Every structure is written in structure tokens, then in C-alpha cells.
Amino acid sequence: MGSMRLHFLGATRTVTGSQYLLETDRARVVVDCGMFQGSPHDVIRNRIPFAYRPEDIDALLLTHAHLDHCGLIPLLAASGFRKPIYAIKGTIDLTRLVLLDSAKLQEEFSQSHQRFAERHPDRAAAEDEETAAELTAASSEDPAAATRDAEPAAVTALRDPLYTVENANASLALFHGLDYGTEVEVAPGIAATFLDAGHILGSAIIRLRVAEGDRERTIVFSGDVGRPGTPIIRDPTPVTSADYLLIESTYGGRTHEPQEVAIQMLGEAVKLTADAKGVLLMPSFAIGRTQEIVFHLDRLLEAGAIPHLPLYLDSPMAQKATEVYRAYADYFDEDTRALLAREETPIDYPGAIVVNSPKESLAIEQAARPFMIVASNGMITGGRIVQHVKALIGDPGMILLFVGYQGQGTIGAALQQGAKTVRIDGTDLEVRCQIRSISGFSAHADEPELLAWLRNFAQRPRTTFIVHGDPPAQAAFEPKVKELGLATMVPAWRESVDLA
Ligand SMILES: [Zn+2]
């Protein structure tokens, strides 16, 4: 009897770095190859060599275009992987935007780090030593990696970009576009079907049928599971059977605000801005959230619930992502397609002003009030939003409206928690604007929604692996999954499991 083994290489007890390797006697398939993001302890893992020889992999399957799922693909390709990468067609177009942007940032960061090192060799050396120590500490969580030592050569490499724009372009040439629901043989004995995950455009749940020796097993990777009822895209596909299941748990233990409440709060902020002749500034993720906010503003306007304020869309990435959304209207849900059929323009706001150059971006503040700005990125850690916050944070006539998750340690989170000042570009700025938050827009299912999705399994998986969640979320979620009669496991980083 042949062997079947699953290796958990990322998104284990954390929400980033998604990567899994399925190994049989005949084939090796990797699902997702995401970047670790967030804390330095997590980020350093991007520098730890892959847990396998990239040239030995038969195929890579990608669930969706978010960086924490696709972000290390250029590095994998630059490390010797040359085989096909399978993804839904729309995902490929979004991944192109994400990887080229990421590579550009990698190159810029590396250049500024090099300049810093030339000016302050002592401080750079101390930082490198610290980073090397973090790398060693992170590696030692993996018994095999503990034997690797961080030699001076590796320390120099810490300042290199993880990958370049050239690497990203080379990896993009490996992609093969799939349609939802069509089974494809991706490696000897392994057939994959991509089902809509309802998370962002092109997102997928991946179902693998794996034949090895005299048995066949079905393994389902949930990817990131979307929220039912999210506008534009379809709801997550119900899956009814699996021998093994990997389920994300980002919002384990938590329930989102209902979407209707979120929409109402959005409308209120627009009305307040109009009455006060102020500015409504919304930091937003470029892919998914921006399109969703524009959708809701357009619907509210159509319903006569808000006045028609000028809207500035100030994110080149969001603009390109919207173009991808437009090109894949066949992925839209029925409601959105019905609007299109009535010649309405559900993912466009009438008269929206697309801001192209950074110069135009800086000029927005001079426009006649009231007006609204949607800018990236969503957590004010970079992008054009930063200059708007800098210009308007001291202005009582501005409402800063958070419409998405704010990661710990970001300016966004500090403002949400009531910071009186924030430091931007080395200057402390007094916070005098209004700050509001809406938590009901989410690209992820909350706990009740995840459990509802799990209840679709008529055939109970032998093991349900709980992945892609921080430890408190997983601790809250696991007992609820057990209550459904499912056997669970919360795998650790680089843990491997034999599938019977
Ligand atoms: Zn995602």
C-alpha cells in the first residue's frame, strides 16, 4: 500500500504563510505558497529555506490572490520550481498585480536597507545580528532546521530582496488558468477541482482526489472561506464529503456585526460628512474591500439613502483590481448579474474620480467639501492613504472611517484604540478628526458561518485540521467543531501527518 503524507508548512497557529505539501509515492503537490506577514517573528520565516526541494514538486495549486497565500511563489520559482501553477483564471490576473507590487516593495526595501547600511555600518551590523538571531530562533522550532547555522553569508542575504520583479514575472509564466468545477489531473494520481470560496474574486476551495496503491482519498482545502451574502461575488460552495479536511479559523470564537448594520453605519458616516461639509476618509484594502465599499455606496445612492458626494478612488492597485473584477462578471453572484442585466453599474459609483498620479492625490485635499476618499492600504502602513491621514488627522471636519481589520501594531489599530497622537514620517501629529469603525464588512466567514459550512459535510472527514488562525481563535473554535462530531487536530508548523 502506498503512502500519503500531508506536511503543514504555514498558516499553522497563525493566519499567514499558507502552505501545505501533499506527498504520495508518485507525486508531490503544494497547495498555496504564501508569505508570512505581521510580527517580525513570523516575517523572518520567509527567509527559512523551503521544507522540500522546489525542483521535486509536480504542481502548485493556488487558492486565491492574497499575499499570505501567493506571496512566496516568485521565490519558489527562483529556487528551482518549474512546473505548472494552477489557479482560477481571475485569480491569475489578481495574483499578477499582487506579486509585481510585492516584488517592487521588496526591491525598494532592500535598496533603502543597503543605503542605511552604508551610512550606519555599525547599526546595520547590530540589526543584522538581531535578525540572524531571530532567524535561528524561528528555525529551531523545526527540528530539521535547527541544525542549520546562520553563517555571515546568510546574514548578508537578509538585506537582499526576497525576490525581484524579474523573479515575479518568471513565476507568472508558470500559471495555468482553470474554471470553477472542472476536475483536472495536476500530478500522477492527483485530480483537483476548484470550487468558489466566496472570499475574493477567483477564490477557491480545492478538492483533491488522490489515488495511491489500492485506495483513493478526498482531501479538501477550504482556503479562506468567505461570508455568505457578501455583495458582488458568490457565496462559499457547500462541500458534502471529504476524507480529510483543512479548515481556516481566522474568526474562530467571533461573530461579525450583521452586514445590514455595517451598511447603515456607512450611510450614516456619508450623511454626517455631507451635513458638516467635511471629508470622509476610508482606508481600504485594494482587492475586495474597495470594490465592496463602492458597491454599497452605489446601492445607497441608488436607494436615495445618501446624498451624492464626490468620491475619489485613490489606489492604483484597487483600480487595476476593479478592472479584473469587471473582466470576470461571470463569477458574480445572481444579484449583481441581475443589476448588470438591467444595465446598472454595480461596481461603479457615478462620477467617481479615479486618481492617477501621486501629485493628483496630494491635490485632493484642496477640493471643495464635502467629499469622500477611498484609499489604500487598509491599515495605513503604506500607500497613498498615509499622506491623506497626515494632512487631515488634525482636522475636526474629517471622519476617518475604518472599514476593515486593523493589525496589531499598525497606525490604524492605534487610532482605533484612541491614540491622541500618531507619528507619521517622523512627526508627531495630534488626532483631532472623528474616528469611526465598521466591523461588519469581512471577507472571512465568522464562527457561526464556518460552523454552518462544516454542517454541509454529510460524510464526516476522518480528521478536520484546523489551520489559518491565531491560537486564541483556534482554541475557541476547536470544541465547536468537535461538537459537530468531527475529529480535530491543530497542526504545528512543519508538522507532518500520515493519511490512512
Ligand atoms: Zn485571503
Q: Which domains does the chain have, with CATH numbers?
A: 4-253+444-498 (3.60.15.10), 259-437 (3.40.50.10890)
What gap in Å lies between CA 84 and CA 115, rounded to an integer?
38
pLDDT at site 143:
42
How far away, in angstroms, is 90 Cα from ligand 1 center?
14
How far away, in angstroms, is 407 Cα from ligand 1 center?
14
How far away, in angstroms, is 223 Cα from ligand 1 center?
8
What gap in Å lies between CA 81 and CA 142, rounded to an integer?
23
Q: Which of 288, 275, 272, 254 is closest to 435 using CA atoms?
A: 272
How far away, in angstroms, is 272 Cα from ligand 1 center?
32
pLDDT-derived band at 133 (thresholds 50, 70, 90) equals confident
Q: Which of 261, 207, 202, 192 is closest to 234 using CA atoms?
A: 202
How far away, in angstroms, is 64 Cα from ligand 1 center?
7
State yes or no: pLDDT of 354 exceeds 80. yes
How far away, in angstroms, is 186 Cα from ligand 1 center?
23
450-482 confidence digits (pLDDT tens): 999 999 999 999 999 999 999 999 999 999 999
What gap in Å lies between CA 482 and CA 461, rounded to an integer?
12
Percent share of the chain, pLDDT over 70:
96
What gap in Å lies between CA 307 and CA 99, rounded to an integer?
38
Burial of 328 (0-12, 13-18, 19+ CB in 10 A): middle
Query: What is the Cα Rg of the chain in Å?
Result: 23
How far away, in angstroms, is 236 Cα from ligand 1 center?
13
Is residue 90 within 8 Å of 328, Cβ to Cβ? Answer: yes
pLDDT-derived band at 1 (thresholds 50, 70, 90) equals low
DSSP helix/strand/coil, 21: strand
State yes or no: pLDDT of 145 exceeds 50. no
pLDDT-derived band at 141 (thresholds 50, 70, 90) equals low
359-399 confidence digits (pLDDT tens): 999 999 999 999 999 999 899 988 899 999 999 999 999 99
Burial of 121 (0-12, 13-18, 19+ CB in 10 A): exposed
Average pLDDT, the chain: 92
CB proximity list for 448: less than 8 A, separation 6 or greater: 255
Q: Which of 99, 28, 35, 97 is closest to 59 using CA atoms?
A: 28
The grid cell for 134 is 531571530
Q: What are phi and psi of 219, to 5 degrees?
A: -120, 125
Is residue 373 within 8 Å of 312, Cβ to Cβ? Answer: yes
Helices (H) then strands (E): counts for the chain: 16, 22
CB proximity list for 192: less than 8 A, separation 6 or greater: 29, 61, 86, 183, 184, 185, 186, 206, 207, 208, 209
DSSP helix/strand/coil, 343: coil
Q: Which of 364, 401, 404, 414 is closest to 384 using CA atoms?
A: 364
319-350 confidence digits (pLDDT tens): 999 999 999 999 999 999 999 999 888 999 99
How far away, in angstroms, is 240 Cα from ligand 1 center?
22
How far away, in angstroms, is 199 Cα from ligand 1 center?
7
Using CA atoms, how far residue 386 sits from 103, 281, 282, 358, 403, in Å, is: 21, 11, 11, 12, 16
Q: Which segments within 161-234 are labelled E, that is strand?
A: 175-178, 184-187, 190-196, 204-212, 215-221
Q: Which of 41, 32, 33 is closest to 14 using CA atoms?
A: 41
What gap in Å lies between CA 87 and CA 76, rounded to an integer?
16
Which residue is associated with the grid cell 532567524?
A: 135
State yes or no: pLDDT of 485 exceeds 70. yes
Q: Which segments within 303-383 are labelled E, that is strand?
A: 311-314, 353-354, 371-375
Q: Which of 195, 223, 189, 194 is closest to 209 using CA atoms?
A: 189
Q: Which has more pLDDT, 318 or 134?
A: 318
Using CA atoms, how far residue 308 sits from 203, 273, 297, 305, 370, in Å, is: 33, 11, 9, 10, 10
pLDDT-derived band at 140 (thresholds 50, 70, 90) equals low
pLDDT-derived band at 215 (thresholds 50, 70, 90) equals very high
How far away, in angstroms, is 417 Cα from ligand 1 center?
25
48-104 confidence digits (pLDDT tens): 999 999 999 999 999 999 999 999 999 999 999 999 999 999 999 999 999 999 999
149-193 confidence digits (pLDDT tens): 434 344 446 778 999 999 999 999 999 999 999 999 999 999 999
pLDDT-derived band at 118 (thresholds 50, 70, 90) equals confident
How far away, in angstroms, is 69 Cα from ligand 1 center?
7
pLDDT at site 157:
64
| pTM reported for the whole predicted model | 0.92
Is residue 391 within 8 Å of 422, Cβ to Cβ? Answer: no
How far away, in angstroms, is 451 Cα from ligand 1 center?
18
The grid cell for 117 is 547600511
pLDDT at site 181:
98
Residues 401-424 have a mean pLDDT of 91
